[in-house]
Structure 1
Amino acid sequence: MAGHNTYLTYKRETAELLYWVIQASNSIIQKTGAEDEDGLSLLNTSGKTTVYGLVSMAKLIAEHIGRQTVPPIVYRLFKSVIKAREEAHEAFKQLAAENSDPEVKKNNASHKHFIDALKEAFKALGGESETAKREADAGSLHEAQAAETNIILLANKFASLNLGTVNDEAQDDAEAASDASDGPAAAQRPQKKYSGKGKKGKRGKKPKQKQKKPVANEPPLVGVPIESYRIIEDKEGIMTDYLMATYALAREWIDLRGFMQKTWRQVAYDGLNAAVAGTLSNVAVSMLKRSELAMHLDFPGHDSFHTIMNTITRGDVEKIQGNFKLRLIKFYKAQAQTRVEEAALDVKEQLMIHTYNDLLDFVADYQKTRSGKPTKSMLAEIQNWDPTFNLQQATPEQRLKWRRSYTINWLYDLVNLFSSVVVQRNTLKGQNWALEKVDWSEDGPWSVHRRLFGLNEFAGWVTSLATQKQGTDVRNKVQPHSVFQLQCIVDSLMVSRGFSTSTFRGHVMRPPAHQFRPRRDVDLFLDRENERGGSGFLQAVDILEQLFERDAQMHGNPKRHTKHMEVLKIAQQDFIDWLGESKYGYVLKSISPSQFSNSNANGLWEYSPFLCGLGLMEGLEISYLFGMMIWDRIPEPFLLIHLHNMLVQRGYIAQPVGLYASLQSLFTDAFFIDGKVPTSNFLEALVAKVDAYNTARARATQQAARRSNAQASDVHGMLDVNANKFFKTPTTLVSYRKADWNYERVADSDIKPISMLAMLRVAQTELVVDPETGKLRPAETELTSRMRAAKLSEEILAGMSSMVRRMNNKNHEDPAMMARFAAMAEPGYMTESGGLRELSKKLKTGGQAGSESKVQHEELDLDGVDVLEFLKWDIHADVCGREPLSSLNFVWVTARFFIQFMQMEDELRKLRNPTYVRAYEVDPTLMREKRLSLAVGALRGGDEQCLRIMAEQFQNPRAGFMDHIYWKDLETELKTDKEIPRKEDDEFNDQVDTACSVM
């Protein structure tokens, strides 16, 4: 599982380890009939045990396995769990050294006892032997699959071992061993207290029976999921687990924050499209949400930011400052790691306490009047915020004060804008809505009134806190992911002004990005001033409206495109009013003016790269969904692609026209049956594609999807591409939103076969032995089937898995690893023999099963930053890179389609072409759909004049894909951070590859 924090990894691996141990122990007990001193079965029926029970089971297994070996994966799990506990213990010891709290020392003692017990169980199973060490470090690729399914297979395989040869003496020994521990049975006999430390109970020991009858061979844990396997701990043990969870969560957001600062810096300094950073921000927030959910399930009521901070700081931030150490480790090729430097962590900064306090102070101040105006005391603190303030010359205290003023001012504008729809009802229409009772959520009743793009969930959450009655304590309603999101909002502006923070160096200053404007990419998308004709969304809607009217007149149907234009005009007006700008500054006079009025009344957007990035992201999604909806309901896209293909195949067009060739490549499955481009029988190919939809099953599926869309609460659900007949391909942005930004929930059907996410998914797919070749290959899934259909060989699929796992191992000998991933994600690379030879040379996988060919790798457990690095390539490719569905202005392309047909029609009419005349002037039946009739006549063949004229007009002029994108250009490759030349930005960190450990 990739992208989860260390606590979730520890929790999962502990469950997997216990699954194997308990299943193996139960198998032995069933085959030997072992009982405890009271004649009760030792079978574990709950999946839960004490740490002593684990030791007892390990000894029982070791005593009865004979020459059978413990699977190497079990040793690896033991080592990983022990390592996680030891690392946490070291951190807690540091804390205890500076803290006289006896509770802390008691927890540490309990923690050490737990670690010792784990080591005892590990040793009992032979884990410290040289053979076990070699096997654990060099297991076969198949055995090293530590996914749950393989753990289950290993346990079941062990359970099937022939243990019937155990002699009577061994059975006696097993029975005696059962007297020494109550662990496996402790959770099954709650009514009888058991000693737990190997001591005899008060009852006398029953006479030993020389021969035990095996118990019924029925699995005692049927239906118990692997997630339910856990070690039962006392109060101190539970507290230790909670501390591990809180530290892991803090470590996770520190790492994710560092990644997002770097990404927003690339937006400001290197031109990275803001929508890429906005999407990655949402994915990062989703990662924290998943970690929080796991904490909530394990420790309900203890997952708020306030509780977590109190736990980590022991309720005293000032006292704990300096107690957390950060170590910088240098790695050299083929050499051991060495510590370079150690520094104290700025707890307030890295644990986001400054931002959290700013949020609470804003909420408390807003609640005092709920008028949208700061109190006098707050106004005195924040009113003189200067966007041009020289942060480089300021002291650290002055920077923090400037940042705090910005944060609170920006939050005031956000809440005032988001609550304006209700405030206006109260002030202008005399209504009496109680603000504290309003449902401000993005799915609430007021969501039908668009006020903001990109940040509706966060805005609704902050507004719900701020509009409560004065004095309402909101601390338990603040989750870490919300504080992290606000921190990213603030950081996005700070880094553009040259102010970033480092876990190791504190405040890092550089000259501000003087040429950067937060609205840069939003303005290109909309092009409000029509500075780049044919590029912006707003102008495209106006042009298409005129073309729709002309088409409606030609067909004698004034309402032919009415519904299409209604939805497009609504989207256009919403973009004008609420994307990049808002009515807040010049229309909504009934609410308080912007807190940034002294410098820029549109400061909510102008001073927030984060809001612009997320707003643009949503704008790109909506424009794409509208484009697909319209294309699915008009004939022009289908007809032109089929006509263009025929004219190219038959030689009327020597070189494919860029726009149509690109669209044919991007939507091959939408235009042609099974994605196969026809080279003959062109009319039959069009008819076959249309008929494929006209089956009863296809229509029923679409109708069900449309009913689902009609019940959706937002525009994204209403326009879900699943309800379309042909154009069902989601962009990367759309597929991530459908999965609520959780990349693990993106459906296999929505993942592009050649993508970084596909690589991640394949690396997590179980490997099986190919019965024909004897080689290991990823199991058959929907995604791997599609990848194989895309002509990716088994060698490539195995290579993907291996490369991702090498990234998992932090291979410092290969700094160009991500560049090779990017090369693999290029469609051409996968089909070129050179690329395949290079990949085969670099990757040594796919050996014979059971042979000596071994691959060193471990459970796929990339951290969140590693995962984001992968996903960044896919998101960039979609927004402005090699497969830029989201960058294409589909409204403008639709206009081009209509213009293309008009050009053909004008020339054919002048020449009185018979195919044209029949379709447009003679046959009433054909005249109902004139362009469809014209295209069918051309595809049928035989009218050379018609085909020649069409070919000429396709090239008059030759329309290019690049002529219809929102941006000035595309970037086919995404530069890594180290490929971007800098003077002083990362001089310290770029000297060597480093890995930091926070304590």
Structure 2
Amino acid sequence: MASRNAYLEYKRDTSRIIYWVVGTSNAIIRKLRVQPSTGDTDALPDLNSTGAITSAGLVALSKLISRHLPTTPPAILRLFQSVIGARTQAHTVFQQIVANRPDPDVEKSNASHKNFIDALTAAFNALGGNPTVAAGAKSASDANSVVSKDELDELLLANRFGALDLETSSANQDDHNLDDDDDEEPNATTSKAQRRKQPKPGKGKKGKRSKKPKKAPAVESPRLEDVPLESYRIIQDTDGIMTDYLMAVYDLLRQMAELRGTLQTVWREVAYDGLNSAVAGAVCHVAHGIIQRTASAMFVDFPGHDSFETVMNTITRGDIEKSQGMFSLSLFRSESGDYSQVNEVKKTAIDVKEQFFIHAYQDLVDFVEDFQKTRSGKPTKRMLEQINNWDPTLNLQRATNEQRIQWRRSYIINWLYDLVNVFSSIVVQRNTMKGERHVLENVDWSTTGPWNQHRRLFGLNEFAGFVTSLAMQKPGIDVRKRILPHHVFQLQGIADSLTASRGWTVSALRGHVIDPPARGFRPRRDVDLFLDRENKEQFHSFLQGADVLQQLLDRYATETLRPSTYKQMNVMIEGIQFDFINWLGESKYMHGLNTIPPSRFSKTNSNGLWEYSPYLCAVGLVEGLQLAYSLGMWLWDKLPEITYIIHLHNMLLQKGFIKTPIGLFNTLENPNFFADCFYTNGEPPTSDFAQALLQQTSRAAQMAASRKQAGREVAKSSSSSIHDLLGADLNLVFNVKSLLVTFQTAGWDPDRIPDADVPLVSGIAGLRISRTKRITNPNTGKAELENTELVRRIKELDNKANDGHSGGSLLDAFASTFQSGPSVSIHLPESLSERILPPGYTAVGSRLDGGAGGQRQWGHAGGKEVDDASLLQMLKMEFMRDVCGSSPLSSFNYVWGTARILMIFMQIEDTLREKRNPLYLEAYESPRTFRSLIEKRLALTTMALEGRNDECLREIARIFENPRAGFMNHIYWDDLVDDLELPKTTEREEQERMLRGPPDQMCSMM
């Protein structure tokens, strides 16, 4: 889901315009040279081979095209409108800046803006555009400027194929494929003056030819088809480049402010409405990634100008104090709902320091500079005077704005001291206690460095490593150029997670918004439920489940001739359990570490690093859930008993030995969970049960043989990361990924998720399908989606759900999203709803509603990308579904579930041994007894599945039934959410009503 940043849209649309103009003009020039008409062909410009032209060149080529092309495609004119609108909007903003405070640089930028707008408008008019419409374009996202991606894909590259038919409209040129890389278009570009200076073949004096030096090897001339789309551009002077940079930083900060507002809302839901904090942590990861990728894409054109300091100085013109009043936020209202006619009802000057993250940036810089002075982990005396008496219980409602800002500043600096002290503790202790001599400023603190194998933190290692690398530099080293916008954005999010829980949020329009703090709010609540250190909830605790599972594996290691596998499992479980106990939610730091200064929060809570940071608790829990899930899949891939029990349960249910499904097993074998891992075709068999199990075990054996060498190589290359060692792609059968693991593997970038890992019934799938190219089927002549892997997967699901019968399909439902407007209702066939939801689960509203054919809604406007805030809201629902909703892969306690299943198998063995059951005797005690425990268990399971002894089956069914294992008894939380729209208190409803404001209103920042 590409970013909806206005500058990047403007940049992309400009490249597309130049792409079309260059391709079309090149085709015209070639044809005129082959078929010259009246006039001098020498007056024609040269072919362009670089994709770069000047503003004057754009106008000249547009006029050339207008003389030879009957009509300009409407899509190209709409692109012009979009670009002119974006430049006009920026021009208006910077004109207001100059009006409030004259600035020579901005005035030069405005002049450059005006010249560029004039050139674009002249080109637009030459191509037949309506100047009135262009002048009225408000922005790149104006509804009238929406251009279908497929329309452009087919249009823009049409001119790269063969000669252009000048007698027909270019609208008929859209039969070519955008992605065809084999086209041949020998375009070249040089200026007319350059062309005249080039020597012509065959010219010159013969007497001088013999004296020519030996020819150098011919250098291949540039080819236009080798130039990527993003390299098509308009050549600008220094003022023009500065203008683009101003546009970029303005839109980046606006995007950062908008996403900050979204995240504050999410943290309010955690504090006041009980939203699982892991959901908030996952959303924060995605938001942080959006800002990081957006800034990287922007600043590739401005090398050396990507630091936050440069951005800040640019937007404030180097004077933060005087910049106050340069920017304002206006609230408009439309009485009729027609936003082309609105009235301004409120205008507020923006708090520049707050809304442009300057407070957070300055707090970070001040911390680093103070830490560097001693590098002892203790604040200087001067800093202590400012931060030493931070009071976590301060009544923010009664405090002034200045007091609240100082309170937050003290918190940030104290918290950063604890963060760096914990993260650097391993190296510092090696120096002080073991006499090692690690030079602190040279240590690689990154997550790829040598110290990453030592766990000190969960969820925030990359940020902690970055801040530590700054703080450990020698005193006086200026590190400001290394602080990038996404670092400041993340630090602001860390601070906002605490202030939101205390009732303090910041609105650009309303300023400081103060509500009563959340009652009984504890940041570690969800971490406590996940780990349950005190074993308050039986079967829910990861730690308790790990203890029991380790005891079982120890027993197995003594009963088998090959104990190494069980010992390996125990080592892995013990290592993760150790890290969870010591570094997740709590830290050894709270008990004191030798040679490490005590916590800065020791006066109120020695575990303040976690207790006072909902953000750290959230992202730490996210990583904990990821590891717990990956560990579960890794164990199940090595413990075939899990599959044996599932197959036995299915057979007993099919044959009537069990009347109703056992909740735990029935949920796990559901297609929404692990059906494809338990059964070869993903469908529970109704007969030939033993053969079905043998097919599955043979499948695993074949995969083990084919991937043995590749798997060993991957393990070697990934040995430094526990996430890589437990990677699902290394598993033979159990390679399903939870949504949290899927995003973590993709670097929290939705666009990097492979089609194979996209959940089929999800907003992610809907958006990706909406972006899939539509092609014409040569056999039917009908438009259909390109046959991507995701499309194939959805078609397979449709076929299974409909069982060969006609009816609605998921693909049809997704297809409707790019033919309709916002808030499309997706109606699913009942058979499909039943297949994708576990039995007993229902989903309401924006989730899926099983049973009667549910609905799910995505905001999707005519094929456009959703904006970033809407994307985060959609992903919040997806993460809820995974963490605590209708498809809770991440909430299942896999170590407890594994221990329960192994105990059930042990009960079966003990009961059948006591009763001297013939199947048990044949598998375990006959002269041809199988050697290993796994072989014995496979033999017993296979004979039972063959139905060779009804008494054996009745005993197994009795064990399954007494007691019945429920899925809900093996999740980390008290319950799963019934609706993704969390219930709100009366106070929260009132707060949100005030924040939303009256209907039919919209805001605009200038």
Measured against the shorter chain, the TM-score band is 0.7 to 0.9
1:889 to 889, 893, 896: 893
Tell me: CA distance 1:86–1:588, structure 2 relative to 1, closer, same or farther (3 Å): same
Verify the 8 A CA contact 2:292 2:486 in the aligned structure 1. yes
For 1:355, the aligned partner's letter is A
Verify the 8 A CA contact 1:146 1:859 in the aligned structure 2. no
SS of the residue 2:226 aligns to: coil
Q: Distance in 2 between matches of 1:640 and 1:447?
A: 39
Residue 348 of structure 2 is aligned to residue 343 of structure 1? yes
Q: Distance in 2 between matches of 1:805 and 1:307?
A: 43
Tell me: CA distance 1:361–1:931, structure 2 relative to 1, closer, same or farther (3 Å): same
2:83 to 81, 84, 92: 81
The corresponding residue for 2:303 is 300
The corresponding residue for 1:745 is 752
Verify the 8 A CA contact 1:4 1:287 in the aligned structure 2. no
The corresponding residue for 1:200 is none
Q: Distance in 2 between matches of 1:397 and 1:460?
A: 31
Q: CA deviation at 1:137?
A: 13
Verify the 8 A CA contact 2:644 2:938 in the aligned structure 1. yes
Deviations 1:968-994 (Å, cap 9, x if unpaired)?
011142117999852234414153254
Verify the 8 A CA contact 2:770 2:863 in the aligned structure 1. no
- Mapping 1:603-642, distance limit 5 Å: 603-642=608-647
For 1:10, the aligned partner's letter is Y
Tell me: CA distance 1:81–1:531, structure 2 relative to 1, closer, same or farther (3 Å): same
Verify the 8 A CA contact 1:731 1:885 in the aligned structure 2. yes
Tell me: CA distance 1:70–1:903, structure 2 relative to 1, closer, same or farther (3 Å): same
For 2:868, the aligned partner's letter is G
Residue 732 of structure 2 is aligned to residue 725 of structure 1? yes
- Mapping 1:592-603, distance limit 5 Å: 592-603=597-608
- Mapping 1:204-219, distance limit 5 Å: none
Tell me: CA distance 1:313–1:556, structure 2 relative to 1, closer, same or farther (3 Å): same
Deviations 1:215-265 (Å, cap 9, x if unpaired)?
xxx995222111111111111111111111101110110011011111111
Verify the 8 A CA contact 1:277 1:613 in the aligned structure 2. yes
Tell me: CA distance 1:130–1:765, structure 2 relative to 1, closer, same or farther (3 Å): farther
Verify the 8 A CA contact 1:43 1:220 in the aligned structure 2. no
SS of the residue 1:861 aligns to: coil
The corresponding residue for 1:27 is 27
The corresponding residue for 1:53 is 57
- Mapping 1:907-918, distance limit 5 Å: 907-918=911-922
Tell me: CA distance 1:582–1:924, structure 2 relative to 1, closer, same or farther (3 Å): farther
2:399 to 394, 397, 411: 394
The corresponding residue for 2:944 is 938
Tell me: CA distance 1:877–1:994, structure 2 relative to 1, closer, same or farther (3 Å): farther
Deviations 1:780-803 (Å, cap 9, x if unpaired)?
101111111111888643543543
Q: Distance in 2 between matches of 1:96 and 1:801?
A: 48
Q: Distance in 1 between matches of 2:383 and 2:1004?
A: 39
SS of the residue 1:113 aligns to: helix
Q: Distance in 1 between matches of 2:486 and 2:593?
A: 31
Q: CA deviation at 1:335?
A: 3.1
Q: CA deviation at 1:390?
A: 0.3
The corresponding residue for 1:105 is 107
The corresponding residue for 1:290 is 293
Verify the 8 A CA contact 1:582 1:602 in the aligned structure 2. yes
Q: CA deviation at 1:677?
A: 2.4
Tell me: CA distance 1:935–1:718, structure 2 relative to 1, closer, same or farther (3 Å): same
Q: CA deviation at 1:676?
A: 2.8
Verify the 8 A CA contact 1:760 1:801 in the aligned structure 2. no
Q: CA deviation at 1:621?
A: 0.5
Q: Distance in 2 between matches of 1:678 and 1:264?
A: 46
- Mapping 1:462-541, distance limit 5 Å: 462-541=467-546
For 2:891, the aligned partner's letter is S
2:235 to 228, 232, 251: 232
The corresponding residue for 1:162 is 165
Q: Distance in 2 between matches of 1:228 and 1:825?
A: 46
The corresponding residue for 1:63 is 67
Q: Distance in 2 between matches of 1:389 and 1:149?
A: 57
For 1:500, the aligned partner's letter is T
TM-score of the two chains, using structure 1 as the length reference: 0.88
Verify the 8 A CA contact 1:805 1:860 in the aligned structure 2. no
SS of the residue 2:974 aligns to: coil
1:868 to 843, 866, 872: 872
The corresponding residue for 1:413 is 418
SS of the residue 1:618 aligns to: helix
Higher mean alpha-carbon deviation, 748-757 vs 709-718, is at: 709-718
SS of the residue 1:675 aligns to: coil
1:962 to 959, 964, 968: 968
Tell me: CA distance 1:13–1:131, structure 2 relative to 1, closer, same or farther (3 Å): closer
Verify the 8 A CA contact 1:264 1:492 in the aligned structure 2. yes
Verify the 8 A CA contact 2:922 2:929 in the aligned structure 1. no
Tell me: CA distance 1:97–1:37, structure 2 relative to 1, closer, same or farther (3 Å): farther
The corresponding residue for 1:688 is 695
For 1:492, the aligned partner's letter is S
Deviations 1:412-443 (Å, cap 9, x if unpaired)?
00001111111111111122221111111111
For 2:684, the aligned partner's letter is V
Q: CA deviation at 1:140?
A: 14
Verify the 8 A CA contact 1:2 1:863 in the aligned structure 2. no
Residue 593 of structure 2 is aligned to residue 588 of structure 1? yes
For 1:785, the aligned partner's letter is R
For 2:768, the aligned partner's letter is R
Equivalenced residue count is 933
Verify the 8 A CA contact 1:127 1:133 in the aligned structure 2. no
Tell me: CA distance 1:476–1:818, structure 2 relative to 1, closer, same or farther (3 Å): farther
Higher mean alpha-carbon deviation, 580-589 vs 359-368, is at: 580-589
Q: Distance in 2 between matches of 1:327 and 1:821?
A: 42
Residue 791 of structure 2 is aligned to residue 791 of structure 1? no
SS of the residue 1:573 aligns to: helix
1:446 to 436, 451, 468: 451
Tell me: CA distance 1:822–1:527, structure 2 relative to 1, closer, same or farther (3 Å): farther
Q: Distance in 2 between matches of 1:431 and 1:555?
A: 44
Deviations 1:393-421 (Å, cap 9, x if unpaired)?
00001101111100000000000111111
TM-score of the two chains, using structure 2 as the length reference: 0.87
Q: CA deviation at 1:705?
A: 3.6
Q: Distance in 2 between matches of 1:533 and 1:471?
A: 54
Identity of aligned residues (%): 49
Could you tell me which runs of 5 or more consecutive residues in structure 1 were left unpaired when the two chains were aligned: 167-183, 195-217, 844-855
Tell me: CA distance 1:908–1:978, structure 2 relative to 1, closer, same or farther (3 Å): closer
SS of the residue 2:990 aligns to: coil
Q: Distance in 1 between matches of 2:345 and 2:983?
A: 23
Verify the 8 A CA contact 1:54 1:121 in the aligned structure 2. yes
Higher mean alpha-carbon deviation, 270-279 vs 934-943, is at: 934-943
Q: Which has the higher contact order (CA 8 A, sep 6+)?
A: 1
For 1:291, the aligned partner's letter is T
Tell me: CA distance 1:795–1:89, structure 2 relative to 1, closer, same or farther (3 Å): farther
1:735 to 729, 739, 742: 742
Tell me: CA distance 1:895–1:834, structure 2 relative to 1, closer, same or farther (3 Å): closer
Higher mean alpha-carbon deviation, 48-57 vs 551-560, is at: 551-560
The corresponding residue for 1:121 is 123
Deviations 1:156-192 (Å, cap 9, x if unpaired)?
57x66523799xxxxxxxxxxxxxxxxx987556847
SS of the residue 2:638 aligns to: coil
Tell me: CA distance 1:123–1:101, structure 2 relative to 1, closer, same or farther (3 Å): same
Q: Distance in 2 between matches of 1:151 and 1:471?
A: 56
Verify the 8 A CA contact 1:413 1:604 in the aligned structure 2. yes
For 2:442, the aligned partner's letter is K
2:817 to 796, 803, 821: 803
Verify the 8 A CA contact 2:75 2:152 in the aligned structure 1. no
Tell me: CA distance 1:304–1:909, structure 2 relative to 1, closer, same or farther (3 Å): same
SS of the residue 1:222 aligns to: helix
Verify the 8 A CA contact 2:121 2:131 in the aligned structure 1. no
For 1:691, the aligned partner's letter is S
